[in-house]
Structure 1
Amino acid sequence: MKDMNNRQVRVPGPREHDIAEHCRKFGIGPAEEKKLKKLLGSHAPLHEIQANQPPRQPKWR
């Protein structure tokens, strides 16, 4: 019987995200960015950043 290597390879992303880059990407203001940095430090996991960021503005149609 043949030896089959059928493993799936998962390449994990970065575990720690830069808070300044996240705020710039999602349009979070400098005051909120400063609060997040004070609370979490300059790098944090994505789920902690998202749990502590301010609520999004509604998109009106």
Structure 2
Amino acid sequence: MKTMNNRQVRIPGPREHDVAEHCRKFGIGPAEEKKLKKILGSRAPLHEIQANAPPGQPKWR
């Protein structure tokens, strides 16, 4: 009987993201950026940054 190699190639992305860059990208103010850096540090996983970031402004049509 043949053996099958079922390994899948996974190329992981960066695990840690820059908090300051995320704040600039999403328009988060300097006071909130400072608070996020105090809570999370300068680099953190994306889900942690998004969970602790303030809610965004609604997009009006």
Amino acid at match of 2:54: P
Q: Calculate the TM-score normalised by the size of structure 1.
A: 0.86
> Aligned ranges for residues 19-34 of structure 1 at < 5 Å?
19-34=19-34
Q: Calculate the TM-score normalised by the size of structure 2.
A: 0.86
- Aligned counterparts of 2:30 and 2:39: Cα–Cα separation in 1: 14
Report deviation, 1:5: 5.4
Q: Structure 1, residues 11-50: CA drift from partner, whole Å, max 9, x if none?
A: 0011111100111111111111000000100011111000
Identity percentage of aligned residues: 88
- Aligned counterparts of 1:51 and 1:7: Cα–Cα separation in 2: 33
Report deviation, 1:4: 6.6
Q: How many residues align?
A: 61
> Is 2:59 aligned against 1:59?
yes
Gaps of 5+ in 1: none
Amino acid at match of 1:35: K
